[in-house]
Amino acid sequence: MKGGKSMAEVVQREPENRIGMEFNAEKYKTDFPILSRMIRGTKLVYLDSAATTQKPRVVIDAVDQYYRLHNANVHRGLHTLAEEATAAYEATRDKIAGFIGGVKREEIIYTRNATEAINMVASSWGYQNIKKGDRIVITQMEHHANLVPWIVLSRKTGAELVYIPIDPEGYLDLADLKDIIAPNTKIVALTHMSNVLGTINPVDEIIALAHKRGAVALVDGAQSVPHMPVDVRAMDADFLAFSAHKMLGPTGLGVLYGKEELLSRMEPVQYGGEMISEVRYDYAAWNELPHKFEAGTPNIEAAFAFLPALEYLEKIGMENIRRHEMELTGYALDKLAGLEFIKVFGPKDLNHRGGAVSFIDKNIHPHDMATFLDTLGIAVRAGHHCAQPLTRLLGVNSTTRASLYLYNTHNDIDQLITGLKEARRYFRYE
């Protein structure tokens, strides 16, 4: 290293180690500048973390610090800035590898988001391994990111696309799983946690059966990795996809984990700089893992700022975050159950659900409800949540969703409940 410090070394380390301490969401809230913002005269109540999380000050400062002190391209230069940028970029890869269970750094591929990670598997592994007569298995609760790529792949290859159904309570119905994951199954792709129902799926059991059939398993961890401990090695997933922006990090950075033996046999899906080892006018050879899948200049800023985001989560403790969200989700479900005009979707058992709570008012359209709540400074999401087939299956065309994270409090839920009641009066249903 030529003088100076790497970006990994110079990023401020916040907050203090809080593992084992009483969970103080009000204190954590102060780490997020945007949560002090006033919306139409009211302090913001942010209940849309399933779409994207807010960023703590340490992440915001890291973005500024990167551009002020360390801006350079990675893997390309010998000057101090380039070496600092490369060191920090790769330090984040090491941190990610440890965060999901201590996998090899070569098994961590940077992408733009979880969607691109899943598409990469479908476009590379899928077209290399799936043909007419094969079976692709997904579930009825998938986000479009883990649905549309498989629809397209099945259409183009002639493979059969089969769904694991859901039951009326929002759980996967596994009664016929052995028939669904048939011997001709090549891949099982499923969400770990539903972004609509909050359901936490028994991925270990499903992956074990997939492997018995000789199939590989992809897990969409976009909603699980930010909210609970995830050990991909214990899970034995062949692929895992998730996004930085849903776990306090910047937008524009995703992660694909893949087992080394699978990634080594897969072809790149983008070509250009950095992903090559040698190029001639009539020949090109690919770089080693993970670089053969990372063509062109990456989102260095996001990788730099994702490191303090991961450290922030680790210092709080993913177990502590999970316990806090379980308690807060239970509180929200109890409060919503007391409103006779509200119908909530998804499991009631907190051991099998996360903090994405979707519901409808029996009279008020979800878009109208979200718009009204915004006048009170309450940010929720309304729509099909990029899961149109699932919302149709639920018998609705959209829902209102309140989604929780480490910075949410009982008071946030109380304000939501008050807002739902005020909406009834505003629209003259009471």
pLDDT digits (tens, 9 = 90+) for 51-73: 999 999 999 999 999 999 999 99
Tokens found for residue 354: 């996360």
Bridge-partner residues for 25, per DSSP? none
Domains of the chain: total? 2
Tell me which residue range forms the domain holding 87.
80-313
pLDDT digits (tens, 9 = 90+) for 153-192: 999 999 999 999 999 999 999 999 999 999 999 999 999 9
Domain C-terminal end among 287, 313, 339: 313
Is the domain of 334 the same as that of 299?
A: no
Residue 151: give its domain's CATH number. 3.40.640.10
How far apart CA 114 and CA 162 sit, in angstroms, is: 22
Rg (CA), the chain: 22
Domain C-terminal end among 313, 345, 371: 313
Relative to beta strand 399-403, strand 381-383 is antiparallel
Is residue 386 flagged as an active site residue? yes
The answer to whether residue 214 is domain-embedded is yes
How far apart CA 257 and CA 36 sit, in angstroms, is: 36
Please give the model's pTM, rounded to 2 decimal places: 0.94
What does the pLDDT read at residue 22? 73
Marked catalytic residue, from 10, 63, 269, 386: 386
Closest CA relative to residue 402, chosen from 417, 422, 421, 387: 417
What does the pLDDT read at residue 395? 97
Which parts of the chain register pLDDT below 50? Answer: 1-20
What does the pLDDT read at residue 18? 41
What does the pLDDT read at residue 430? 80
Residue 418: give its domain's CATH number. 3.90.1150.10
Q: How far apart are the first and last CA of the chain?
A: 69
What CA–CA distances, in Å, run from 67 to 169, 202, 299? 49, 42, 12
The answer to whether residue 54 is domain-embedded is no
Q: Dump the DSSP string for 194-206.
A: -TTT-BB--HHHH
Helix axes 300-316, 318-337, angle to 10 degrees: 80
Looking at this protein, which amino acid is placed at residue 288?
E
Residue 105, SS3 per DSSP: helix
- Kindly give, in sequence order, each residue whose CB lies less than 8 Å from that of residue 27, ignoring residues fewer than 6 positions away: none
How far apart CA 172 and CA 227 sit, in angstroms, is: 20
Biggest CA–CA distance in the chain, Å, is: 75
The answer to whether residue 50 is domain-embedded is no
What does the pLDDT read at residue 20? 42
What does the pLDDT read at residue 6? 38
Closest CA relative to residue 170, chosen from 212, 128, 200: 200
